[in-house]
Every structure is written in structure tokens, then in C-alpha cells.
Amino acid sequence: MQYTIEARQLTSNASSQRTVIEARDENEAITRYVRDSAAELVSFTTPPRAAESIATVKKEDSVYLVRVYTA
């Protein structure tokens, strides 16, 4: 299944960046994104019956809000 990863830097007004990742589920998708981005996963949650998962990711000196949803 394909998942869209949408990351937006929290300390900037920059637009979000989208990436599509092939994975079995949301957990694998965020794990691959973090590894490929050389980032650190701070938090990750999938609310019950939600259409997307939400993560906080730290890369270098920036923190990103990351949405994970099926493509």
C-alpha cells in the first residue's frame, strides 16, 4: 500500500513537503520516512477510526509535524 507523508516545519511558514512511501502500514511508513530523512521520531499516534496518523519528527535543529495517510 502507498502512504503519503506530509511534513511541515513547525518553526517556519514554509509549505509542507510530500513524499509517497510504499509500506505495509502507517508504522512502517513513518519508520522508513524517518530512516530515509536521517531524522528522529519524537512521537507517533494513530487515533481510533482516524484517516491519518500524526507524528512529530526532529531533524537537525528543526521540528516537523508529519501526517501519514493512504495515498
Q: What is the residue-wise DSSP string for 5-62?
A: EEEEETTS-PPPEEEEEE-SSHHHHHHHHHHHHT-EEEEEE--TT-SEEEEEEEETTE
The band of 13, judged by pLDDT with boundaries at 50, 70 and 90, is: confident
* pLDDT at residue 1, rounded to an integer: 93
In the predicted model, is pLDDT for residue 49 greater than 90?
Answer: no
Query: What CA–CA distances, in Å, run from 70 to 4, 8, 11, 64?
Result: 6, 18, 26, 19
Q: Whole-number mean pLDDT of the chain?
A: 93
For the chain, which residues make up each domain, given as ranges? 2-70
Q: Kindly report the pTM of this predicted structure.
A: 0.88
Q: What phi and psi, each to the nearest 5 degrees, are found at residue 45?
A: -145, 145
